[in-house]
A and B are shown apart, each in its own frame.
Chain A
Amino acid sequence: MAQKKQATLDSVSIKAKRNATNDIRLNDFAVGQKTITVSTKTMQLYNLQSVGTLLSQQLPVFVKSYSFNGLATISFRGASAAQSQVLWNGIPIQNAALGVADVSALPVPMINKISIAHGGSGALLGSGNVGGALLLDNEQPEFDTKVHKLSGCIGSGSYGQYNGSIKSTLTHNKWFVSINTFAQAAKNNYPYTNTTGAKHTMTNGKLESYSAMLNAAYQLKPNNTIGVSLWTQQYKREIPPALFEAASVKKQEDQSVKLLADWQMTQTKYTLYAKSSFIVDRIDYSDAAVNLQTNNTVYQYYQETGWKQHMGKAGQLLLFVPVQRAWLPDGNDTQYQNRVALAGAWSVKLLNNKLGIAVQSRAEVINNKQIFLPGAGATYAITDKWQLRANAQRSYRVPTLNELYYFPGGNPRLRPEQGWSQDVGHTLKTSKNKFSFYHDASIFNRNINDWIMWLGGAIWTPHNIAKVHSRGTETENRITYTTGKWTLNTDVYTSYILATTTESYIQNDGSVGKQIPYTPRYNYRMNIGASYNSFYLNYNHSYTGYRFITIDESSWLTPYQCGNIQLLYTKPFRGKILQLSAQVNNVWNEQYSVAGYRPMPGTNWLLGIVAHL
């Protein structure tokens, strides 16, 4: 039995360039699109936390936590949460009724690779890919080896937090099986200061969750593989009171089952693939104080069949047919949403691979309505250290089942949000002596028509009411200095986003010219780290700017900054590998809320130990 073990830290940089995803569509045909892949080391640092926490501290996206124990959603480049797609092994996993994925309920240990793709790629990824996409992937199966990897992790932290995970991978001849499990419990009884300055301890904040994933694959022939993945989760959460509430008895239980079957055959000239998924999401919410109990279960089936053909020495063609059906039982009635598309992409590398070009298109029928989505992108390497890129895409988002049919308030007359986005950017990579330097900058522009907003009172109803213009810049900057056993690194991510309403169907609408709610103009993320032999110490700092909570900018939340310290130590021990991690979050004890009146914890710590057996 061979074991792959890792005696030292595997990567110097916080984010290393790898293939952003296992998805053929993005890897080979999203030319000109900016992606960032989280390094293995960063994944190790957040091994006991959620994808939402990792993203909020490390990457220039906005994670909106509705409360400490509640739903957390992501948004890119001024897009709404529903316009920011989440893909697991290439399939969309947003709740089909809500149109969003709860990133607080995605544990890092269940995932092997996390990336974000900035900007829309509607032709390749379909509805909801307007601002960008979060890409979650599991490891690619290996065959014809005998590998058995087993690791266990336990952790404990402030406010009654306990976590544990077990991961195992077994490959034997034609078989590949991996199992990931994760469980956590927390009291979340952290201190906070209320609006009058009085100190309190948070109540009704308990969390219990488990997550389990099975990935199995069988090699039919060389380069011909079938696989199946099953991911099941349960989250039981109490929802703490907001500052304007005397108490809370709100509870939420989320259950999800994701089943994915896939097949891929790769030949010299072509690749054929097919994948089918079935997802059930159930959310039970109760608030005994107002006699409220809701149970929502939504189902979605996704099927994609594709053919990739090499054309000449440098060209590739992809044709694929995605089919999606989502349904929401509602009493005696069931609401359906059906989508069928024919999509294609062509990419080519010219001028000795200096120039890369791709064009994409998708014709889709959604409940008998048709839409055509074209796109194109290009990269050009001016030198081996300096590369330019450009991308233009048509994007759209189909209204969710809730927006269409929720009772009361759903609006079946809603039209899809749609528009165009463009971005250009450049990447500089250089190294000299002991320094290496990386810099990437993007400028983006996007116009979306028929932007959907909920208007309400006693009943909330979504309407197509606005045209929204989003534009801004993003930078990624990294400097690494290596000498002897020491490696010092610093990276800075910045984003500056203006997302303003330009037109409204409502007369005298105060939103025109104003920033979209919960879209911070400024986001900064920074890391300063040092590694010596098997030690790694990192200081992480994030800044999130003003978030308006009304569409006319009349009400807002103030900026907040968080500092976090992370320590990782890896040590061989009796033929095994032990990894110790320690984190102190919010070291400056910032009192802040991501959403209004929902205080987040002050300084807190988390210790973990991983044993690779």
Chain B
Amino acid sequence: MGRQGSKTIILLLATLLTACVKDTPNPNINSISSNGSVYIVCEGNFGNGDGTLYNYNTATDSVNGDLYRTQNNAALGDVFQSIKRIGDSLYLCINNSDKVVVLNAKTHKEAGKINIPKPRYILPISPTLAYVSTLYSNNIYTINPKTLQITSTLTIPHQNPEGMVRIMDNVIVCPWDTTCNKIYTINTTNSSITLTTKIAGYAPHAILVDKEQMLWVMAGNVTKGKAATLTRIDPSTGNILKAYTFANGTDPIKPAFNKTRDTLYYIQVKYDGSTDGNGIYRMSILDNKLPTKSLIPTLPYQYFYALGIEPSSGYLYIGDPKGFTQKGTVGIYKQDGTLIKSFVTGLGPGQIYFGE
């Protein structure tokens, strides 16, 4: 080929060997040092199968990432919705993987699995009975946490049984259905609906009990044109004590009471990048109006997606999913909204659980 051929080969090699950046990614996953007291449910990105369980140890101020994969060498699943401890086990609702994963609470090794379509939340009733709410059906499943078997299927009149609360022998269920303006009381001894209670709005999705044993029901589905409402109800009579209607387009989610259950906190979410009406809000159970100013505002393009109140300190743990496109963060705030610290979590922190 001669001189020209040599030059050609040199040029070829020069352009073939232009690889500059090492292609191997940095794993950067923390190892487990010990069990912590705060679990962070990281939903993951819908369709990517990257839900993860994180743990924050308040004593050592350390974060343990992706506990399930570390202990079980497998991915947890798609859309990790919620977690609940029953006895010595943790029950993890993996919504889009149609399963409830059961972990040993100490080792985080998988102890079993219950196949349930689109599970959302678990409500323990006794050591041998728990209720599992589901999306896209009218069904609530009862399971035996000891045998990990489905024991029965309860059907309610509306779709999407979502939030549940237990009072004595009753479970009160919120069907997150835009045609529904009621909540249903189910007697746990005979599994029958014993009371139907009307609320102020449609599509109830969360329910709590305050210090006076009154119910607080959050409802609404902004995308389907159902305005958000908050209703305070006397469970013994079914009477509405107070009704609050949120401004058009307001999307309140994930309410939580403080330790004394006299102050309600909730998230208002805005996905449009604006800060107005976006953040953490707080109100007394005695207030007659909804708060207009946020306790903890967001930055542009930010919104919060998880809210938990630590029982002992009263600190607020607030999850920022950062658009569900990267690792999220959890910020720890004093009750006056002052940020104490924050730490990095998995993708889409959606629930803070204190393990009881």
Q: Tell me the bound Cα distance from A556 to B75 in angstroms.
A: 13
The 8 Å CB contact of A522, one of B4, B23, B50, B321, is B23
Q: A291 to B25, Cβ gap below 8 A?
A: no
Q: Is there an interface contact between B18 and A496, defined as CB atoms closer than 8 Å?
A: yes
Which residue of the partner chain A has the closest CB to B222?
Answer: A408
Interchain CB contact under 8 A, B301 and A506: yes
Whether the Cβ atoms of B16 and A477 lie closer than 8 Å is: yes
Residue B11, interface by CB 8 Å: yes
Q: Which of A454-511 contact B (CB under 8 A)?
A: 454-461, 463, 465, 473, 475, 477, 492, 494, 496, 498, 505-511
Known: A496-B18, A554-B347. A511 touches B326 (CB 8 A): yes
Q: A289 contacts which of B23, B25, B117, B301 (Cβ < 8 Å)?
A: B117
The chain A residue with its CB closest to the CB of B327 is: A554
Bound-state CA distance A545–B21 (Å) is: 12
Interface size on A, residues (CB 8 A): 64
B residues less than 8 Å from A385 (CB atoms): 4
> Which residues on the B side are within 8 Å of A553 (C-beta)?
25-26
Q: In the bound complex, do residue B20 and residue A245 qualify as a contact, i.e. CB atoms below 8 Å apart?
A: no
Question: Which residues of A586-613 are within 8 A (CB) of B?
Answer: 596-597
The proximity string for B residues 1-30 relative to A, scoring 1 for CB distances below 8 Å and 0 otherwise, is 100110010011001101111011110100
CA distance A507 to B327 in the complex (A): 14
Does A196 lie at the interface of the complex (its beta carbon under 8 Å from any beta carbon of B)?
yes
Give complex CA distance A432, B2 in Å: 10
Q: Does A456 contact B11, Cβ atoms closer than 8 Å?
A: no
CA distance A144 to B136 in the complex (A): 64
**Interface assignment of B135: CB less than 8 Å from any CB of chain A:** yes
Restricting to A532-563, which residues have a CB under 8 Å from any CB of B? 545-546, 548-556, 559
Q: Which residues of B contact A465 (CB under 8 A)?
A: 301
Q: From B223, which residue of chain A is reached at the shortest CB distance?
A: A408
Give CA–CA (A281, B28) in the complex, Å. Answer: 44
Question: Size class of B's contact patch?
Answer: 35 or more
Contacts of B5 in A (CB 8 A): 430, 432
Query: Which residues of A168-214 have CB atoms within 8 Å of chain B's CB atoms?
Result: 195-196
Tell me if B99 and A246 are in contact (CB < 8 A).
yes
Which partner residue on chain B sits nearest A440 by CB separation?
B15
Name A458's contact: one of B19, B159, B269 (CB within 8 Å).
B269
Mark interface residues in B50-62 (1 if CB within 8 Å of A CB, else 0).
Answer: 1000000000000
B98, A246: Cβ atoms under 8 Å? yes
Q: Which residue of B lies closest to A426 (CB)?
A: B11
From B78, B305, B329, A244 is in contact (CB under 8 Å) with: B78
Residues of chain B within 8 A (CB-CB) of A505 are 300-301
Q: DSSP majority for the A interface?
A: loop
B297 CB → nearest A CB, Å:
13
A473-B15, A556-B25 given; A461·B326 CB < 8 A: no
List the A side residues contacting B273 at CB < 8 Å.
Answer: 411, 461, 463
Q: How far is the CA of A59 from the CA of B94 in the complex (A)?
A: 39
A411 touches B272 (CB 8 A): yes
A315 lies within 8 A of chain B by Cβ = no
- Let me know if A428 is at the binding interface, CB within 8 A: yes
CB distance from A357 to the nearest CB of B (A): 24
Asked if A9 CB lies within 8 Å of chain B CBs, one says: no
User: Contact between A494 and B16 (Cβ–Cβ < 8 Å)?
Assistant: yes
Residues in B neighbouring A510, C-beta threshold 8 A: 322, 326-327
Question: Beyond A455-B324, A496-B19, A510-B322, is A195–B75 a contact (Cβ under 8 Å)?
Answer: yes
Q: Known A496-B18, A521-B21, A521-B23; judge A457-B321 contact (CB<8 A).
A: yes
A175 CB to nearest B CB, Å: 49
Decide if B303 is an interface residue (CB 8 Å cutoff).
yes
Say whether, besides A408-B223, A455-B301, A551-B325, A245 and B98 are in contact (CB < 8 Å). Answer: yes
B74 and A555 form a contact (CB under 8 A) = no
Residues on B with C-beta less than 8 A from A291 are: 136, 159
Inter-chain contacts of A580 with B (CB < 8 A):
none
Contact of B305 among A441, A457, A494, A556 (CB under 8 A): A457
Q: Is B36 an interface residue (CB 8 A)?
A: no
Beyond A408-B223, A455-B271, whether A439 also contacts B11 by CB under 8 A is: yes
CA–CA, A509 and B327, complex, Å: 10
CB of A230, distance to nearest CB on chain B (Å): 36
Q: Does A327 contact B (CB under 8 A)?
A: no
Shortest CB distance A600–B (Å): 16
Return B117 CB to nearest CB of chain A, in Å: 7
Contact status B96-A550, CB under 8 Å: no
From known contacts A290-B136, A428-B11, A546-B25, infer whether A242 and B301 are also in contact, taking CB-CB under 8 Å. Answer: no
CA–CA, A463 to B302, complex, Å?
12
Q: Select from chain B the residue with minimum beta-carbon distance to A428.
A: B8
B118 close to A (CB within 8 Å): yes
Q: Chain B residue with minimal CB distance to A554?
A: B327
Q: Is the CB of B322 within 8 A of A506?
A: yes
Is A311 interfacial (CB 8 A cutoff)? no
The docked-state distance in angstroms from the alpha carbon of A473 to that of B253 is 48
The residue that B323 contacts in the complex, of A246, A411, A455, A597, with Cβ under 8 A, is: A455
Min CB–CB distance A431 → chain B (angstroms): 10
Cβ distance A550 to chain B, nearest Cβ, rounded Å: 5
Within the assembled complex, what's the spacing in Å between the Cα atoms of A510 and B347? 12
B48 contacts partner chain A, Cβ-Cβ < 8 Å:
yes
Q: Which residues of A399-449 have CB atoms within 8 Å of chain B's CB atoms?
A: 407-409, 411, 426, 428, 430, 432, 437, 439, 441
| Interface members, chain B 264-323 (any A CB < 8 Å) | 269, 271-273, 299-303, 305, 321-323
Chain B residue nearest to A459 in the complex (CB): B271
Nearest chain A CB to B36's CB is how many angstroms away? 20
| Known contacts A458-B269, A506-B301; A453 and B323 CB within 8 A of each other | yes
A496 contacts B327, C-beta separation under 8 Å: no
Cβ contacts under 8 Å, B223 to chain A: 407-408, 458-459
Chain B 125-170 residues near chain A, CB threshold 8 A? 135-136, 159
CB of A243 within 8 Å of the partner chain: yes
Asked whether, in the complex, the Cβ of A245 is within 8 Å of the Cβ of B136, the reply is no
- A498 adjacent to B50 (CB under 8 Å): no
B25 CB contacts on chain A under 8 angstroms? 546, 548, 553, 556
One digit per residue, 1 when the CB lies within 8 angstroms of any chain B CB and 0 when it does not, for chain A 310-353 equals 00000000000000000000000000000000000000000000
Q: Provide the residues of chain B in CB contact with A454, threshold 8 Å.
A: 323, 325
A26 to B25, CA, bound (A): 39
13 further A-B contacts with Cβ under 8 Å, apart from A437-B8, A548-B25, are A195-B74, A242-B47, A244-B49, A246-B115, A439-B12, A458-B253, A461-B273, A463-B301, A492-B16, A551-B325, A552-B325, A552-B327, A555-B48
19 contacts between A and B (CB under 8 A): A244-B75, A289-B118, A289-B136, A291-B159, A408-B222, A453-B323, A463-B301, A477-B12, A496-B20, A509-B322, A510-B326, A511-B325, A517-B325, A546-B25, A548-B25, A551-B325, A555-B48, A555-B347, A559-B23
**A: which residues have CB within 8 A of B?**
195-196, 242-246, 289-291, 385, 407-409, 411, 426, 428, 430, 432, 437, 439, 441, 453-461, 463, 465, 473, 475, 477, 492, 494, 496, 498, 505-511, 517, 521-522, 545-546, 548-556, 559, 596-597
